[in-house]
Amino acid sequence: MDIVVLGGGAAGVCAAISAARGGRKVLLVESQGCLGGSRTATGVDTFYGFYTPKRQERIVGGIPWEIAGQLTHANAAFERTNTYGAGTGITYDVEMLKVVYEQAVLASGAELLYHTYASEVHVSEGLITGVLLANKQGLTEVSANVYIDATGDGDIAARSGAPFEKSDTNELQSLSTIFFMANVDTAAAKLVSHQKLAAKMKEANRSGQFVLPREEGSWHITPNPGVIQANMVRVSGVDATDPYALTLAEVEGRSQTREYVRFLKECVSGFEQAFLVGTSHHIGVRETRRIIGEYRLTEEDVVEGRKFGDGIACCGAPVEDHGSGKDTRWVYVSDDGYYHIPYRALVPQKVNNLLVAGRCLSATHGAQASARNSAQCMAMGQAAGVAAVVSLEQNVQVRSVSTGLLRERLRSQDVIL
Ligand SMILES: Cc1cc2nc3c(=O)[nH]c(=O)nc-3n(C[C@H](O)[C@H](O)[C@H](O)COP(=O)(O)OP(=O)(O)OC[C@H]3O[C@@H](n4cnc5c(N)ncnc54)[C@H](O)[C@@H]3O)c2cc1C
């Protein structure tokens, strides 16, 4: 193999597509039975980050925009204003995204391997020489010239000895089980504003009849009539790279879901006849390991809208920090602008043939709470795929790739920089 991409979430999908379109032999390894990670298996059905919040300037193009276009073309997506002022999102049918991602990867020529966990990593003299894959055939090893860690959790970077952190002054963001309900009278339910809903949650908690850990969660309509998606559950204090803690979080997330469903049915008009049709197959994980790369994006960079000479993606999404309290911390990019994610934030220290893409980028807790938006994770994936191709063409280590050439190549693929 020329390039192996570990993890098929938003970032990994776009990394595999761009690397394969660059003419390279690519394998995409995914532990679950579908592509998309948080975007599908977790049920998070709205892409944010394509537009700046107030000006509505589109700042992400390339493969992510192609994917969004295919969903719209299939009549499986619509634009929607964010409940918290974070701009316009693209809400889509999760089942359709599974197919769109899969078809796009296969059409690119990349090979796809499901139900396979990347486990151990072999390293020699600063280079990964192989990754052990665990699946129904036992343990097998795959080797490539360049590896892209898109596991969200930085599994490969961590196991190859690249430095990482899990939290600085702040705790890791909370986890959420997303749930879908059907048979909702959405016209009636929409009459209860977000503020009124939050007040009802507070009142329900005060009454002692309900235990609702997050009081400002929200629901929204989906492309399917009468079906809504809800992001209300909050499971705090969990390190999702600890499998036992993650297991308990899944149990807690489903238990909280039942409580929120009971609350909605008993306390909110429009939900009286509704029923639960689905929960995340994998609880939503916002933050685990963040690698320490050649540059560490900071919350200051985000809020001040900093641009970098090696910028490979634009982001205008606010810091959205889901702590353990009942509220969420929102901090907006100044002047409704955007900042750059630098290429160096995808380049881990110490390991010379590895890139990361997605929510495990090199960023502080606060900066990751902005850069982790799905449009940016896809954009990082595309950039990592192109960078891997360029490093092979130039026969240089990934940290020595010409960022001028990388940016030129990205622009030629309709990436907005
Ligand atoms: C509850 C929640 C709500 C959110 N809401 C929004 C929103 O409304 N809009 C928005 O834009 N963003 C939102 N986000 C953020 C965004 O969805 C994620 O940050 C982004 O999708 C992460 O993409 P990723 O590819 O980096 O990681 P992930 O989505 O975590 O994908 C990682 C993939 O790698 C696979 N994997 C992991 N480890 C291994 C391994 N060792 N071997 C093989 N495969 C592996 C996983 O199965 C998964 O498919 C939300 C996130 C959460 C959790």
- Report the Cα 112 to chain-centroid distance in Å: 20
If you average pLDDT over every residue of the chain, what do you get? 96
Q: Is the CB of 289 under 6 A from ligand 1?
A: no
Q: Is residue 361 part of a domain?
A: yes
Q: Is residue 68 part of a domain?
A: yes
Residues 302 and 369 both lie in one domain: yes
Q: What is the distance in A from the centroid of ligand 1 to the CA of 149?
A: 13
Give the containing element (helix H, strand E) for 383: helix 374-394
Residues 149 and 121 both lie in one domain: yes
Q: Is residue 417 part of a domain?
A: no
Residues 262 and 125 both lie in one domain: no
Using CA atoms, how far apart are residues 210 and 138, in angstroms rounded to an integer?
Answer: 46
pLDDT tens profile 306-336:
999 999 999 999 998 887 776 788 999 997 7
- Outline where 57-131 has alpha helix (H): 62-73, 94-108
Paired tokens of 218: 């929200």
Residues above pLDDT 90, as percent of the chain: 93
Helix axes 10-21, 374-394, angle to 10 degrees: 30
- Number of helices and strands in the chain (H, E): 11, 21
Q: Is the CB of 152 under 6 A from ligand 1?
A: yes
Give the containing element (helix H, strand E) for 148: strand 146-149
- Cβ within 8 Å of residue 80, ≥6 positions away: 46, 88, 89, 90, 91, 220, 221
Residues 131 and 219 both lie in one domain: no
Q: Where are the beta strands (DSSP E) in 302-410?
A: 311-315, 319-321, 329-331, 339-342, 354-356
Question: Is the separation of the CB atoms in 302 and 273 below 8 Å?
Answer: no
Cα 406 to Cα 97, 113, 186, 349, distances in angstroms: 28, 28, 46, 19
- Cβ within 8 Å of residue 177, ≥6 positions away: 233, 235, 250, 253, 254, 256, 257, 279, 280, 283, 284
- Report the Cα 349 to chain-centroid distance in Å: 22
> Which residue has a Cα nearest atom 20 of ligand 1?
374
Q: Is the CB of 155 under 6 A from ligand 1?
A: yes
Instruction: Tell which of 257, 279, 301 closes a domain.
Output: 279
Q: Check pLDDT > 60 for residue 246.
A: yes
Sign of CA dihedral 333, 150, 286, 87: positive
Residues 13 and 132 both lie in one domain: yes
Residues 230 and 319 both lie in one domain: no
Domain hosting 217: range is 179-279
Question: Is the separation of the CB atoms in 62 and 414 below 8 Å?
Answer: yes
- pLDDT confidence of residue 317: 93
Using CA atoms, how far apart are residues 315 and 303, in angstroms rounded to an integer?
Answer: 11
Q: What is the distance in A from the centroid of ligand 1 to the CA of 117?
A: 16
- pLDDT confidence of residue 17: 98
Instruction: Tell which of 246, 279, 312 closes a domain.
Output: 279
Q: What is the distance in A from the centroid of ligand 1 to the CA of 76?
A: 21
Residues above pLDDT 70, as percent of the chain: 99
Q: Is residue 98 part of a domain?
A: yes
What is the amino acid identity at position 205?
A: N
Nearest CA-CA partner of 335 in 314, 318, 321: 318
Q: Residue 321: beta bridge partners?
A: 329
Number of Cβ atoms within 10 Å of the Cβ of 417: 17
Ligand 1 pocket: which of 6, 29, 38 to mutate (most atoms within 8 A of CB): 38
pLDDT tens profile 128-158:
999 999 999 999 999 999 999 999 999 999 9
Q: Is the CB of 285 under 6 A from ligand 1?
A: yes
Residues 97 and 238 both lie in one domain: no
Paired tokens of 92: 């889509």
Q: Is the CB of 374 under 6 A from ligand 1?
A: yes
| Count of domains observed in the chain | 2
Q: What is the distance in A from the centroid of ligand 1 to the CA of 285?
A: 7
- CATH code, domain with 149: 3.50.50.60
Q: Is residue 227 part of a domain?
A: yes
Ligand 1 atom closest to the CA of 12, numbered from 1: 25
Q: Is the CB of 358 under 6 A from ligand 1?
A: yes
Q: What is the distance in A from the centroid of ligand 1 to the CA of 393?
A: 30
- pLDDT confidence of residue 84: 75
As a whole number, mean pLDDT of residues 80-104 equals: 92
Residues 379 and 302 both lie in one domain: yes
Q: Residue 91: beta bridge partners?
A: 46, 78
Nearest CA-CA partner of 380 in 2, 32, 7: 7
Q: Is the CB of 30 under 6 A from ligand 1?
A: yes
pLDDT tens profile 195-238:
999 999 999 999 999 999 999 899 999 999 999 999 999 999 99
Residues 252 and 401 both lie in one domain: no
Residues 381 and 299 both lie in one domain: yes
Instruction: Tell which of 241, 256, 279 closes a domain.
Output: 279
Q: What is the distance in A from the centroid of ligand 1 to the CA of 353?
A: 23
Q: What is the distance in A from the centroid of ligand 1 to the CA of 9?
A: 6
- pLDDT confidence of residue 36: 98
Q: Is the CB of 34 under 6 A from ligand 1?
A: no
Residues 28 and 152 both lie in one domain: yes
Q: Is the CB of 40 under 6 A from ligand 1?
A: no
Q: Is residue 140 part of a domain?
A: yes
Using CA atoms, how far apart are residues 369 and 179, in angstroms rounded to an integer?
Answer: 22
Q: Is residue 338 part of a domain?
A: yes
Q: Is residue 44 part of a domain?
A: yes
Question: Is the separation of the CB atoms in 113 and 29 below 8 Å?
Answer: yes
Residues 264 and 300 both lie in one domain: no
